[in-house]
């Protein structure tokens, strides 16, 4: 059985992810109480259901604390779920709730929306590091669907997945980053009017950057650092490692280096490449 568990903050995109999984042929269950997880999996195994996705969130209340124990029981039964945790910054969540006018599940007469978001973050914090985290701040639904699609297409159980992600510092550092490299000190194609509308994936920008010795040196230094320490992260039994590369706007320098790293490590690990600032446009 391929079992994917989805959790995270209300408003972070769990419904978008679950809908994508349903469209991909998964049997989906939303808002399942944690105490029912093992019962559901056993029942579906008896029915020979191969692909299952379950959303578990704060509506389970403090029963969410039981999730690590339930995951251990599933492992004893040879079911090893893939856990996906979605989250976003407070500003993004407040904006989404304002636009949708939906009620937060932890809202009450004496609690503001901001307080409800903070309470939910604290409630879910114990399980937030159980699997792969996606920071959906600033992401449009189409971009999130693509990121989740890439996530489920990565073959499970084959070791560490290495995520290279570009971003713009003016939009904030990604919450899901494990390692962050700042490349704002490098020559900026933005100041060339012919290159400004392009991205770090376009050949003219690549040629501009690769003609600069500083760019090549920093690119190679980052690649060497990640390569030197990758075995240690693998020994730590990590399933995912997210390496974030940031420039000012997340359009040229960080995109170029992220693409280069993705190609450089393609034969050493399962690699995913994402461009946060480009996806948000």
- Dump pLDDT digits (tens) for 138-163: 888 999 998 888 888 765 555 788 99
Q: Of 178, 214, 200, 172, whose CA–CA distance to 258 is shortest?
A: 200
Q: What confidence score (pLDDT) does residue 99 get? A: 86
Q: Which residues pair with 52 in a beta bridge?
A: 3, 27
- Provide the CATH number for the domain formed by 2-153 in this structure: 3.40.50.300
Q: What is the phi/psi pair of residue 265, to 5°?
A: -105, 5
Q: Sketch the domain layout of the chain as residue ranges.
A: 2-153, 161-279
Which residues does residue 261 pair with via DSSP β-bridges, in sequence order?
none
Residues of the chain with pLDDT > 70, as a percent, come to 96
Contact 273, 259 (CB under 8 A): yes
- Res. 280: pLDDT tops 70: no
For residues 135 and 175, is the Cβ–Cβ distance under 8 A?
yes
What is the per-residue pLDDT across 56-96, written as a single tens digit (0 to 9) for each? 988 776 688 889 899 888 988 888 888 999 999 999 999 99
Look up residue 78 and give its two tokens.
């040879």
Give residue 245's pLDDT band: very low, low, confident or very high (50, 70, 90): very high
Sign for the pseudo-dihedral over CA of 118, 123, 128, 129: positive
Confidence at residue 194, expressed as pLDDT on a 0 to 100 scale: 97
- Residue 168: its pLDDT value, please? 96
pLDDT at 157: 52
Q: If you average pLDDT over residues 247-274, what whole number do you get? A: 95
Higher-confidence residue of 31 and 220: namely 220
0.75 surpassed by pTM: yes
Per-residue pLDDT tens over the stretch 171-219? 999 988 999 999 999 999 999 999 999 999 999 999 999 999 999 999 9
How does strand 27-29 pair with strand 51-55?
parallel
Per-residue pLDDT, averaged over 108-125, amounts to: 87
Contact residues for 20 (Cβ-Cβ < 8 A; gap 6+):
145, 148, 149
């Amino acid at each position: 059985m391929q079992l994917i568990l989805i959790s995270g903050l209300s408003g972070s995109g769990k419904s978008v992810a679950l809908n994508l999984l349903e469209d991909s042929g998964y049997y989906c269950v939303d808002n399942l109480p944690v105490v029912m997880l093992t019962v559901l999996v056993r029942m579906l195994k008896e029915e020979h259901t191969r692909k299952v996705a379950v959303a578990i969130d704060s509506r389970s209340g403090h029963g969410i604390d039981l999730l690590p124990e339930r995951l251990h029981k599933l492992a004893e039964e040879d079911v090893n779920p893939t856990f996906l945790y979605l989250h976003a910054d407070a500003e993004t969540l407040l904006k989404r709730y304002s636009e949708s006018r939906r009620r937060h599940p932890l809202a009450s007469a004496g609690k503001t929306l901001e307080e409800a978001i903070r309470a939910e973050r604290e409630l879910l914090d114990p399980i937030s590091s159980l699997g792969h985290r996606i920071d959906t701040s600033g992401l449009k639904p189409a971009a999130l669907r693509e990121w989740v699609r890439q996530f489920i297409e990565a073959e499970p159980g084959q070791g560490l997945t290495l995520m290279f992600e570009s971003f713009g510092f003016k939009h904030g550092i990604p919450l899901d980053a494990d390692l962050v490299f700042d490349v704002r000190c490098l020559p900026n194609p933005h100041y060339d009017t012919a290159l400004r509308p392009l991205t770090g994936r376009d050949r003219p920008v690549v040629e501009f950057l690769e003609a600069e010795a500083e760019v090549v040196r920093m690119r190679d230094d980052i690649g060497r650092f990640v390569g030197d320490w990758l075995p240690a992260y693998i020994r730590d039994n990590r399933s995912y490692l997210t390496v974030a590369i940031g420039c000012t706007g997340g359009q040229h320098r960080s995109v170029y280096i992220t693409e280069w790293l993705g190609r450089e490590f393609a034969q050493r690990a399962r690699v995913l490449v994402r461009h946060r600032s480009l996806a948000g446009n």
